[in-house]
Chains A and B, each alone.
Chain A
Amino acid sequence: MADELSWRDLEVGNIVLEAGNASFRRTGDWRSERPIMDKEKCNKCGLCWLYCPDAAMKLLDDGYYEPELFYCKGCGICARVCPREAITMIEEEEK
């Protein structure tokens, strides 16, 4: 997206006039590990959702949580804060 813009296309001072367009940015491609959720252990406390620095943890209709891999950077904070050890980080190459 950004790499198609010429210098003439930019707004003055690189101001972004479209509010919230950071959501188009795939930050998930930095990830080397991903969180795997274990519903068996989860008590729906929401700490993973609260602590995720990228707001990548999504609340599902059934009250459980799931990382949005388009944004998740694989930092592992969710796994660290989960009081039930319901989240495991695995290498991206692993299945």
Chain B
Amino acid sequence: MSKRVALEASFATAEAARMADVDVVAAYPITPQTHVPERLAEMVANGELKAAYIPVESEHSAMSACLGAAAVGARTFTATAGQGLELMHEVVYVASSMRYPVVMAICNRALSAPLSVWCDHSDAMAVRDTGWIQVFCQNNQEAFDMTLWAFRVGEDPKVLFPVMIHFDGFTLSHVTEPMILPEQSEVDTFLPKFQYPFALNPDKPMTHGAFGLPEIYSETKIAQEVAFRKSKDVAIQGFKEFGDIFGRYYHLVESYRTEDAKTLLLTMGSFTETAKIVIDRKRDNGEMVGLVSLRLWRPFPFEEFRQAVKNAETLIVFDRCISSGGPGGPVSSEVRAALYDEKEKPRVVSFIGGLGGRDMSLSDFEYVIERGNEIAEKGSEELFETVGVRGKVTGIRG
């Protein structure tokens, strides 16, 4: 029988890694991710998890060690946040290009300066184009579920890509919530043993990571890109299988009360749950509003996203990251690009807020929806508007 427990997202993801029976964990502690490697190290020390725990001297080394482990066919897990992900950046690209299905939890954190350990999505957006499959979580149950799903999808022989699970630092990583832990037998049914087809083995010599001269580099990258986009099918299949076994069905794009909605709000991560309360209130008031949230961020689910927003007049996108000097938040610019060629499309309004751990209250989201509708009607002088910044913000021009 599955059981109901109370866990913070850090422990939830560590528990999922344990139940996935990972072979290797290589991680370097950084706030707010620290509880993840701490708990895993504890499990290994207590004999609850039979794995090699590699204490490394930096995140760059953490990811490098993970690559080595994955190369011999080990199920490999790590976690980081903010600056740690930045320090790891170079090797993050190598993981996806060499097709090692490492799974990594990210406790999302703002980037320095000013130094901040609190949440926003700047770290996630900085690795947007690294070729990792990426999902966002709204709560701790999802942090657990997505971790299991990540192994299932990443290790699929049709996929072989690394997977990042984003969940908000502190808001989820350190907040205890009720959640359901499945039976080990259910996990074993969902997650077959990792069979890496190209595991390094002295009896069968081969070369991983050969360098690419100009006559082969383009072909290599295109082969990678085509395979990466195809991984979406396995992502969908993974959610279906997950639902069939565990009873929770997930979608690439999550829609909440979107039926007949004229205005849609788009959020990512834990704020989505706050925003849902505002949607409920407005619906009770008879307002035709709904919410969409991108669960799968990479590869971007174009079809599913267009389908989810096609009947709306206004789409208000809320970003927790600034794309400096760019068109708005990273999510809003991608969303605009995804809709650009459509004949019928909602007007996209871009908001940025929740930076560096700034909270977003119910009334803040009420403001975002009301002001968003106003901008859709009358326009705004600014490319994007901000929420909760003291002093009227002007000068966000193209």
User: Contact residues of B with A, CB < 8 Å?
Assistant: 97-100, 160, 197-198, 205-208, 210, 212-213, 215-216, 218-220, 222-224, 226-227
Contacts and interface: CB of A to CB of B under 8 A. Distances in A.
A6 B226 CA distance: 13
Interface in A1-21: 2-3, 5-8, 10-20
Contacts, number: 57
A19 B208 CA distance: 10
A15 B216 contact: no
A2 B215 contact: yes
Given A12-B99, A13-B97, A7 B206 contact: no
Given A10-B219, A10-B220, A10-B223, A15 B213 contact: no
Nearest to B221: A7
Given A8-B223, A19-B207, A13 B160 contact: yes
Given A5-B219, A15-B207, A20-B205, 17 more contacts: A2-B216, A3-B216, A5-B216, A7-B219, A7-B220, A10-B216, A11-B198, A12-B198, A13-B98, A13-B99, A14-B223, A15-B99, A15-B198, A15-B208, A16-B210, A18-B206, A19-B205
A52 B216 CA distance: 27
Given A5-B219, A19-B206, A19-B207, A14 B212 contact: yes
A2, A13, A15, A19 — which one has the most chain B CB atoms within 10 A of its CB?
Answer: A13
Contacts of B99: 12-13, 15
Interface of A: 2-3, 5-8, 10-20, 22
A7 B218 CA distance: 8
Nearest to B157: A12
Contacts of A11: 198
Would you list the 5 A-B pairs with minimal beta carbon distance, nearest first?
A13-B99, A19-B205, A16-B207, A7-B219, A3-B215
A13 B208 contact: yes
A6 B218 CA distance: 10
B126 to A, nearest CB: 23
Nearest to A21: B207
A3 B219 CA distance: 10
Contacts of B206: 15-19
Nearest to B200: A15
23 contacts: A2-B215, A5-B219, A7-B223, A7-B226, A10-B216, A10-B223, A11-B198, A12-B99, A12-B160, A12-B227, A13-B97, A13-B99, A14-B97, A14-B98, A14-B210, A14-B216, A15-B198, A15-B206, A16-B210, A17-B206, A18-B206, A22-B207, A22-B210
A75 B98 CA distance: 31
Contacts of A16: 206-207, 210
A2 B160 CA distance: 24
Contacts of A6: 219
A16 B224 CA distance: 15
Nearest to B226: A7
B397 to A, nearest CB: 42
